[in-house]
């Protein structure tokens, strides 16, 4: 699905660094409901363990789990791939590991955005080594036209252009995570 631009107005406190609306709050919530329905259908017999990737996926995760009508379990990992910059370093560091065991579990990784795919590629190998019954990915955003190492993503919320974006959990230096939609960032990182 491709994001379409809507006439949603950017909040005034953020407007000086925020450009066009990539995905409005209404578009996000209706797509998250659809993703929840898809996951409910696909995992009806095998409720998954959802693994959220902190911090960016926290807002998406909290809405997504309430759109899934199954007894899902939830855990989080924290990885760092960008530091404070807006360019991928290619270096992935685990800041917080999982608490849950993965053997005999169907695992669904919940990511905010797949850019180069380096983070996802690393996480797949890392979690796959713990021998889950299955390992799939649900990404809210997927950047088009970017050289990536990982393309096998079962659930994608929106395909978006390669611009740096903020909002709905995504930040710049910890700011703008609380915007309800996804917006192009136009400030200095």
Q: Which residues are catalytic?
A: 115
Determine the Cα–Cα distance for residues 98 and 119; give it in Å rounded to an integer.
Answer: 16
Q: Which is nearer to ligand 5GP, 40 or 186 (CB)?
A: 186
Q: Which of 6, 19, 130, 164 is in the footprint of ligand 5GP by CB under 6 A? A: 164
Site membership for ligand 5GP, residue 23 (CB under 6 A): no
Which range in 3-11, 15-23, 114-122, 123-131 contacts ligand 5GP by CB under 6 A?
Answer: 114-122
| Among the listed residues 165, 168, 179, 181, the single contact to ligand 5GP using CB under 6 A | 165
- Of 23 and 166, which has the nearer Cβ to ligand 5GP? 166
CA distance 164 to 68: 29
Closest to 28 in 3D by CA, of 185, 177, 140: 140
β-sheet with 18-23: strand ranges across: 18-23, 182-185, 165-166
Helix (H) or strand (E) holding 41: helix 25-42
SS3 content of the chain, % helix, strand, coil (to 5): 20, 30, 50
Determine which residue in the list 88, 130, 186, 187 makes contact with ligand 5GP, applying CB under 6 A: 88
- Cβ-contact 138, 64 below 8 angstroms: yes
Return the range that interacts with ligand 5GP (CB under 6 A); candidates 14-22, 34-42, 68-76, 159-167.
Answer: 159-167
118 scored as a contact of ligand 5GP (CB under 6 A): yes
Chain residues binding ligand 5GP by CB under 6 A are 53, 56, 81-82, 88, 111-120, 164-166, 170-171
């Amino acid at each position: 699905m491709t994001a379409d631009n809507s006439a949603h107005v950017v909040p005034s406190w953020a407007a000086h660094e925020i450009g066009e609306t990539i995905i409005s709050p209404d578009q996000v919530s209706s797509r998250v409901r659809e993703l929840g329905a898809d996951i409910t259908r696909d995992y009806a017999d095998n409720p998954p363990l959802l693994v959220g990737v902190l911090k960016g996926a926290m807002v998406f995760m909290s809405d997504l789990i309430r759109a899934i009508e199954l007894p899902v379990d939830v855990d989080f990992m924290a990885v760092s791939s960008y530091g404070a910059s807006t360019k991928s370093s290619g270096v992935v560091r685990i800041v917080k590991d999982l608490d849950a065991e993965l053997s005999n579990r169907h695992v669904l990784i919940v990511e905010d955005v797949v850019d180069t795919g380096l983070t996802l590629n690393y996480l797949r190998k890392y979690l796959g080594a713990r021998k889950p019954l299955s390992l799939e990915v649900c990404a809210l955003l997927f950047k088009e036209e970017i050289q990536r190492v990982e393309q096998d993503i079962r659930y994608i919320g929106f395909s978006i252009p390669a611009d740096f974006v903020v909002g709905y959990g995504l930040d710049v230096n910890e700011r703008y995570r609380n915007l309800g939609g996804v917006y192009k960032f136009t400030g200095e990182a």
